[in-house]
Structure 1
Amino acid sequence: MPSVEFEGIYLNQSKSQGRMRIADSGLGWKAIISKNNPSTNNPPFLLPKENVLTASWSRGARGWELRFQTGSDGVIMLDGFDQQDFNKLKIELQRNFDVQLEHKEHSLRGWNWGKAALLRNELVFNVNNKPSFELPYSEISNSNLTGKNEVAIEFNLSTDKLQTRTGDELVEVRLYIPGNVEKENDANESENNENEGENTEEQSAASAFYEQLREKADIGQVAGDAIVSFSDILFLTPRGRYDIDMYPTSLRLRGKTYDYKIQYRQIQGIFTLPKPDEIHNIMVLQIDPPLRQGQTRYPFLIMQFMRDEVLTVELNVDDQEFNEKYKGKLEKSYDKNTHLVISHCFRGLTNNRIIVPGTFSSKLMQSAVSCSLKASEGHLYLLDKCFLFVTKPTVYIPFSEVSSVVMSRLGKSVSSSRTFDLEIDLRNSSIKHVFANISKEEQNFIENYLKEKNIRVKNDEKDGQDILNHALDFDEDQDMSSSDDEDFNADSESASDVAEEFDSDHHTSGSESEDNDSKRPKKKAKK
């Protein structure tokens, strides 16, 4: 049978137009390169007819939308159709796929209350038995219980999607689900409860919905599929203890309240650093896009370990899989310090190098100095290519973005003379970071290290002292000049005038006396 084509069709809300073709073997879509689409990275998409379950027709973002529910590919959305394409599509789908095209109307009431149905491939929010909106499970990245009756649903915001989408995006939806429901127990528990005459347990409806959504959306993976797992890891940011399950392309953080799924491509940097207390080590993960808890964003995750803690663990992979995928990146088993084991696993699975302290050494032979950022106390690490302040807030400043560094003392008290402030000015930005209350003993170590890195350093104290010394030298020169003026010549005219006025024994010549007398006005006679 001949195929039928439709032009100007968008696949799964992408920006690229394409051509859709329906044949007896299935459906295909391919992006078109044109003036509006000069280049595209969208590969051709094929949907075998055996994988098509249902099809629906409704208004979409760019006209009319054809929506498929599939057996293994989730929800497939194709929009950009004209209204008159409905009859043609209906005939072709019936003939080639034996699927009835259903015309679906959405609710336009604008209500924010209704019923949420968890279907095979998507969550549908119905108002008056009509769908108000649909959320494909493939677009859901995470879900959390944010309250007793509230469930937060977060959407994918990966780097790839940011490159193909423009403008504002919906990143989170919260559903308020009141009431309680009976807790579902397995068969053995139900039988025991009946024998013992116990009442069925209840749980909040929000909690039950949350558990079903996690199962449907496949948030995280089965624990047995993890390559390696670490239990009860202390996180300083976000605060709490989490279990870490590491999979081939992502990891999962499981806490008491929040669970997170993080793609390895989101991890931009990994730092393993010793704390100056000589007891702990910290591991910092730089995440982009950051994790979110409501309105709070976490671009950095910070784990803390006891320095002498030892961990024994074995990878959950067979020898063949290990030799094919992970040999040279990971070890089959570990029996080392905990921070070394976890950092090595992160390096092997993310293909990112681990950033460790460089050549900087403080007066106390540490890689960081104690300081404060506004009201927060922490440690400033001077690494090979950046500044890193931990823990709250974590501030990362690459040396390439630094315009200059100013060392200054803002106060005049006795305590301020023992400390100094480090002000970092950024290139092409008005933002300044001021790290205060650094011990004065660290000043030379920091200044010398930054000069080695070719960073312009301005020392306000030294500059001020130079100005003061210059002023003192200038005053001394002025004093010396004044003393020279006092050693005047007694034969000079000025000396003569002074002597004439104040010296009673001074004698002048007769001519001068007569001249002076002739120049003096005569006194008028009294009448």
Structure 2
Amino acid sequence: MSKEYQHIGLYGHNVGSLEFTQSGLSWKSSDSGVAAQSFASDKVESLGWSIFGRMGYLRVVMTDGTEHRLDGFPATEDAFTELKENVKSTFDKKLGKLKLSTAGSSFGVHELKNSRMTVSESVFNEDEENVAPGKEMMSFDLREVSQCVTPGNNRNEIEIQFHESDTLEKNSDQLVQIRFYVPPDPEVDPTDKTIETEAQELLSSIMSDENIKQTTGKAMAEFEESTFLYPRGRYSLDLFDTFMRMHGNKYDFKIKYSDISKLFLLDKSDEINSFFIIALEKPIRQGNQRYQHLVVQVSKEHGEMTLTLPDPNPYPDLDDTMSGKSSNMMAKVFKSITGKKVFVSGKFVSKYEKKCINCSHKANEGYLYPLEKQFIWLNKPPIVVRFDEIESVEFQRYGGGGGGSTRNFDLAISLKGSQSKEYIFSSIEKAEYKNLQEFISNKKVKIKNLKANESTRKPAYDEGDSDDEVVHMDDEDSEDDGDYGAVDAKRDEEPDSDDSDSDSDSDMSEGSDVREMRAKASGKRPSDGSSKPRPKKIKVAAASKKKGGKKKKKDPNAPKGAKGSYMYFSMDARPKFKEEDPTLSFGDLAKKISAAWKELSDENKVPFEEAAEEDKKRYNKEMENYNPPSSDSDSSSDSDSDSDSDSDSDGGKKKKKKKKKVSPKKVKDPNAPKAAKGSYMFFSMDARPKFKEEDPTLSFGDLAKKISAAWKEMDTEAKQPFEEQASADKERYKKETAEYEAMKAEAMAMLSSDSDSDGEGAAAGAGDDDSD
């Protein structure tokens, strides 16, 4: 005879109904989309009853060690008696009462059995030497453990981390980590690292039971001791058929390929290494730190590796033995086994023919990679910004106050959405502006202040060959989401001659520095054929400029000009459109008003035309009574200015007006070391994005005031980190200045020696001409 209970919850699921049948227990969810759960009578090892709070709980332990918990029973003795009879008739087992500890004890004893860890209260015998388990404090299934480690250098603690469930409702709580302290043996020397502590013995027992480090089968590919930049350390990577293992000295992770969203292979600017990035759907965790992206630094050196592939081989792009650049081999193996695309650098090329731009985010320096569909910034932590997520970008501090006095500019990226999140990448060299601006424009990303930057662009130094063509990669290499395999194979088959050639043209090579310094000192372009000759600039006078050179001043007492019908319509429509959408810019607002005027019928335009006609009458009437001021002073000033320029003493040519001699502004060498930042500047770089995130409406001046006020309120201890950064930057500046002066002196010495030898050659040549 069956018995059914309603509103019974199953741990890990929602509420449903529980039924006792002849074959066992059957639980059905109230949600039709959730599969039913059944517990056969021959698979049930034991059942237990407990009361916690206002409900009764039924614990079902299976023969394989798994445990299921059912709640929602009435917390009465009658309910327990009825449930006891049903268990007896169905399973022929006794339903016992579980004694749970609610005293809040901190210490207890543990027991490991059937992949389950149980912690109970400590019960001492009469002599208080032997300890026995008492009431149960907690228990959990070790199969839910993701990893178990000893945190930091504490050998007497273990930290157990659990898999995070993505099926729970939003804002629900779940257990993700628990830490145990195991008292050390007083007879064991704590400084002896060769002897395992009791905590380490417990860790070994859990690891062997849960099989975190045990995997079935042999790995198909192994990358030993790979250098990880994020998280920092050395980890070995083992690739299996459905997951990969990432294990180091302390932490061990098992990552399913289904949890990998993207893979990236990006060239590092040093041309020696590459960055291989693994983007995860579910971040891994070390303590309280989450890691959404794994960044591996891989060498470009030629190497070989052996794979253990199954027979038949399901990966046609892989062979048992592979050779080529280490970075390319890693990308090819990951692409084939994981089934994920590998994104490579796009068509963007910096001024120095690199695939990235050196810049800073907050107080951290790193590399910004403009790809075909997103920006990637590499440091701690990595930042990925897709173009379709960008609301607008803005080039900040580019004009340098209209004089171009700064050598760097900032790139501010504002994201879409109500939060208006913003990333600011600072300290970008001005030489990178043109390529970066053209790249962003081609991606149809909105640039806020493009026209303002173009109008105020007055570089304070030679930015190099701005008219040179930008050298792009082949289409095959530049495809952001193309087939990496073809690119990879092509690179591996070709010899490394490109690398050697690029070394000779590197900006960091001694030869190119000396050639550039000599060319600047002599006023000539470098003769190594590395760049095109700069065309001569021809000054052309503006066609609209009059001979007088001075604009006639308008009389402030003159009547105000008459407004047209469109102007009256604009004055009426502008506040309405602005009220509908306050975010409209000046240009967008003007476009909307113009479109609305064009759609307006002739009948609806009549009120505005009448207003314009009335204003025109007003203007004509005021002009009748208006007497313009005398122009004697203006004519005299004009004649004085013309007297200097209308002289005909030089064959009819006019002399230019004499101007006050102004000493030319000293051009700063772009190769000179970057000036050292002060402690306040480092604090400002760190605090600015925080204040901007708190209140995006802050203007530049208000933001500066808040930063200044916060700096003044800080004590000496709080300022210490920024003082240290400033001190380190000052030492960097001293070192670079010394190297720069030495290089400059050497270049000038070489130039002097070359000019002396050229003079002797010229004299010898003159003698030969005379003798002939």
Range into which the TM-score falls when normalised by the shorter chain: 0.7 to 0.9
1:300–1:394: 8 Å Cα contact kept in structure 2? Answer: yes
Deviation (angstroms), 1:415: 10
Partner of 2:518: none
The more displaced of 326-335 and 117-126 is 326-335
Among 39, 42, 50, the residue aligned to 1:50:
42
Q: Larger strand proportion, structure 1 or 2?
A: 1
The more displaced of 406-415 and 444-453 is 406-415
Q: Does structure 1 residue 148 correspond to structure 2 residue 155?
A: yes
- Cα distance change on mapping 1:51 and 1:284 into 2, 3 Å: same
Output the TM-score relative to the length of structure 1.
Answer: 0.77
1:107–1:131: 8 Å Cα contact kept in structure 2? Answer: yes
Deviation string 1:300-347 (CA, Å, 9 cap, x unpaired) is 111111012424122264x15x5xxx4458655544433333333433
SS at match of 2:432: helix
Tell me, in whole angstroms, the C-alpha distance in 1 between the residues paired with 2:58 and 2:317.
45
Partner of 2:90: 96
Among 380, 386, 389, the residue aligned to 1:398:
386
The more displaced of 405-414 and 126-135 is 405-414
Q: Larger helix proportion, structure 1 or 2?
A: 2
- Cα distance change on mapping 1:334 and 1:73 into 2, 3 Å: farther
- Cα distance change on mapping 1:460 and 1:85 into 2, 3 Å: same
Q: Does structure 1 residue 82 correspond to structure 2 residue 82?
A: no
Tell me, in whole angstroms, the C-alpha distance in 2 between the residues paired with 1:82 and 1:464.
76
- Cα distance change on mapping 1:451 and 1:238 into 2, 3 Å: same
Q: Does structure 1 residue 249 correspond to structure 2 residue 234?
A: no
- Cα distance change on mapping 1:13 and 1:272 into 2, 3 Å: same
Deviation (angstroms), 1:495: 9.2
Partner of 2:407: 418
SS at match of 1:448: helix
Tell me, in whole angstroms, the C-alpha distance in 1 between the residues paired with 2:185 and 2:121.
21
Q: Does structure 1 residue 216 correspond to structure 2 residue 209?
A: yes
- Cα distance change on mapping 1:440 and 1:466 into 2, 3 Å: closer
Tell me, in whole angstroms, the C-alpha distance in 2 between the residues paired with 1:330 and 1:68.
48
Deviation (angstroms), 1:224: 4.3
Partner of 2:498: none
- Cα distance change on mapping 1:283 and 1:495 into 2, 3 Å: closer
Tell me, in whole angstroms, the C-alpha distance in 1 between the residues paired with 2:88 and 2:148.
38
Tell me, in whole angstroms, the C-alpha distance in 1 between the residues paired with 2:303 and 2:24.
56
2:230–2:294: 8 Å Cα contact kept in structure 1? Answer: yes
Q: Which runs of 5+ in 1 are unaligned?
A: 34-38, 184-198, 485-491, 498-527
Partner of 2:726: none
Deviation (angstroms), 1:152: 1.1
**Structure 2 residue identity aligned to 1:387:** F
Q: Does structure 1 residue 7 correspond to structure 2 residue 14?
A: no
Q: Does structure 1 residue 131 correspond to structure 2 residue 119?
A: no
Q: Does structure 1 residue 69 correspond to structure 2 residue 61?
A: yes
Partner of 2:113: 119
- Cα distance change on mapping 1:51 and 1:247 into 2, 3 Å: farther
Partner of 1:431: 421
Partner of 1:481: 552
2:276–2:297: 8 Å Cα contact kept in structure 1? Answer: yes
Deviation string 1:386-441 (CA, Å, 9 cap, x unpaired) is 11100222111111111111112276799963322111111123322111111222
Tell me, in whole angstroms, the C-alpha distance in 1 between the residues paired with 2:36 and 2:629.
108
- Cα distance change on mapping 1:44 and 1:236 into 2, 3 Å: same
Counterparts of residues 68-467 of structure 1 (less than 5 Å) = 68-72=60-64, 74-83=66-75, 84-128=78-122, 129-146=134-151, 147-159=154-166, 161-162=167-168, 164=169, 166-180=171-185, 202-222=195-215, 224-315=217-308, 317=310, 319=311, 322=313, 326-327=314-315, 334-409=322-397, 417-428=406-417, 429-459=419-449, 462-463=452-453, 465=455
- Cα distance change on mapping 1:77 and 1:121 into 2, 3 Å: farther
- Cα distance change on mapping 1:426 and 1:494 into 2, 3 Å: closer
Tell me, in whole angstroms, the C-alpha distance in 2 between the residues paired with 1:365 and 1:59.
71
SS at match of 2:552: helix
- Cα distance change on mapping 1:493 and 1:405 into 2, 3 Å: closer
Deviation string 1:423-470 (CA, Å, 9 cap, x unpaired) is 1111123322111111222111111111111101234684484599xx
Output the TM-score relative to the length of structure 2.
Answer: 0.54
Deviation (angstroms), 1:60: 5.4
The more displaced of 95-104 and 378-387 is 95-104
The more displaced of 331-340 and 396-405 is 331-340
Tell me, in whole angstroms, the C-alpha distance in 1 between the residues paired with 2:631 and 2:443.
65
Deviation (angstroms), 1:101: 2.0
How many aligned residue pairs are there?
Answer: 456
**Structure 2 residue identity aligned to 1:355:** F
- Cα distance change on mapping 1:225 and 1:341 into 2, 3 Å: same
Tell me, in whole angstroms, the C-alpha distance in 2 between the residues paired with 1:426 and 1:368.
21
Deviation string 1:190-229 (CA, Å, 9 cap, x unpaired) is xxxxxxxxx9x73111111111111222224337444433
1:142–1:261: 8 Å Cα contact kept in structure 2? Answer: no
Tell me, in whole angstroms, the C-alpha distance in 2 between the residues paired with 1:496 and 1:141.
92
The more displaced of 413-422 and 169-178 is 413-422
Deviation string 1:118-169 (CA, Å, 9 cap, x unpaired) is 222322221241111112123222221103222111111143x34x565222
**Structure 2 residue identity aligned to 1:241:** R
Tell me, in whole angstroms, the C-alpha distance in 2 between the residues paired with 1:232 and 1:223.
22
Tell me, in whole angstroms, the C-alpha distance in 1 between the residues paired with 2:288 and 2:211.
24
SS at match of 1:481: coil
1:67–1:76: 8 Å Cα contact kept in structure 2? Answer: yes
Q: Which runs of 5+ in 2 are unaligned?
A: 123-133, 459-543, 556-627, 634-772
Deviation (angstroms), 1:293: 1.8
